[in-house]
Structure 1
Amino acid sequence: MNQNFLDAVEENPVIAAIKSPEDLKECCGIPEIRIVFILYGDICSLGEIVKAVKDAGKIAMVHVDLIGGLSTREVAVDFIHTSTMADGIITTKPSLIRRARELSMFTVLRFFLLDSMAFENICQQQYSVKPDFIEVLPGVMPRIIEKLCHLVKIKIIAGGLISDRESVVAALDAGAMGVSSTSHQVWRL
């Protein structure tokens, strides 16, 4: 794992997940926010969004699956790597994580914990894909997060439905290394 990414999460476990230009402006104005998950944009606007995040001195992580105009193929990661200043990617697709690792980008493999099969899939993927972090959604399941943290060697980020101090504390106490949230209130904790 790249030490800069790990250090940033350790310095502030709250990660700003942005989905609008208003979110971008807000999070860039909060010095304590070190990492930004970019959950919006398209191939025409992505470079400008990433530049704003980088100009604010933050780590820019692009959620490949949510950017308009990008395919689900490895060439999408190549585009992000060569056409933006993004530090890394977030995706639900293991093949994109593998490609980003080849390009020495930070990686977050996102999982939706819908059932026990999804839980088991996380345990299996950690060995073959080896992302820097695994993000689990929804992040408001402390007992499940705790169980997962004991089973996998990869650091966990809790995301989805994290909207107040209590859910942040519960996720971190359960063993998550960080939390991602779209809540401006959480960003300022």
Structure 2
Amino acid sequence: MYPHEEILEAIEDNPIITAVKDQEGLETCLKTESKIVFILFGDICNIGKIVKRVKDVHKIAIVHMDLLGGIGSKEVAVDFMREQTMADGIISTKLTLLKRAKELGMFTVLRVFILDSMALKSIAKQAEQAKPDVMEILPGIMPKITQQIVQKISVPIICGGLISDKEDIIGAISAGASAISSTNSEVWRL
């Protein structure tokens, strides 16, 4: 498992994080410069193999727990992820899963959807409760909102969702985001 400092350095070194939603995307991302892979697919039967594939090429594997099939939302699911797959970290919208991952020494990404002003207002409270290593906000194409969040939150911000070109990346980074995440393989090459 990669130390938290090394993961944060990897984000700093290359602010484009590959996010994969299928096997084809996984194979493509393994050939990129990005050191971090957000795994957004899989199930209880194959997640170990997916994580191993990422780690075999010396990349950091961070699994989105909420998107895995056959894995519940109880803390024991995080124990399974740590013990059976050796994932470096998890992504989740669920505070209980993030808290358990922190207890196990895993890297944590709190994913937050900014749907309206109420979601924006509650973001600082969520960050305080979860104490994530980083926060990922979606959609990531809102520079003005990203700038507001960066001013409120003391952890690095990753912008994800709907990032489709260099302009989107520049907008997010210029607004204070530490990185972007994208499933778009064209973005990975920018």
Cα separation, 1, equivalents of 2:56 and 2:132: 26
Question: Counterparts of 1:36-55 in structure 2 under 5 Å?
Answer: 36-55=37-56
Equivalent pairs counted in the alignment come to 188
* Equivalent residue, structure 1, for 2:181: 180
Per-residue CA deviations over 1:38-93 (Å, capped at 9, x if unaligned) read 00010101011000100111100000000000101111101100100210000000
Cα separation, 1, equivalents of 2:127 and 2:41: 27
Cα separation, 2, equivalents of 1:84 and 1:54: 10
* Equivalent residue, structure 2, for 1:138: 139
Cα separation, 1, equivalents of 2:4 and 2:28: 27
RMSD after superposition: 0.9
* Equivalent residue, structure 1, for 2:23: 21
Q: Which moved more, 1:135-144 or 1:124-133?
A: 124-133
Q: How far has the Cα of 1:126 moved from its partner? A: 1.8
* Equivalent residue, structure 1, for 2:64: 63
Q: How far has the Cα of 1:172 moved from its partner? A: 0.5
Q: How far has the Cα of 1:128 moved from its partner? A: 2.0
Q: Percent identity among equivalent residues? A: 54
Per-residue CA deviations over 1:16-43 (Å, capped at 9, x if unaligned) read 010111001000011x111000000101
Cα separation, 1, equivalents of 2:142 and 2:36: 23
**Secondary structure at 1:70's aligned position in 2?**
coil
**Secondary structure at 2:69's aligned position in 1?**
coil
**Secondary structure at 2:98's aligned position in 1?**
helix
TM-score, normalised with respect to structure 1:
0.97
After TM superposition, which residue ranges in structure 1, 4 or more long, deviate above 4 angstroms?
none
Equivalent position amino acid for 2:183 in 1: T
Aligned match of 2:13 in 11, 21, 26?
Answer: 11
Unaligned runs of 5+ in 1: none
Equivalent position amino acid for 1:102 in 2: E
Per-residue CA deviations over 1:105-156 (Å, capped at 9, x if unaligned) read 0000000000111112211122221000010000000000001101111110
* Equivalent residue, structure 2, for 1:158: 159
**Secondary structure at 1:69's aligned position in 2?**
coil
1:121 aligned onto 2:119? no
1:167 aligned onto 2:173? no
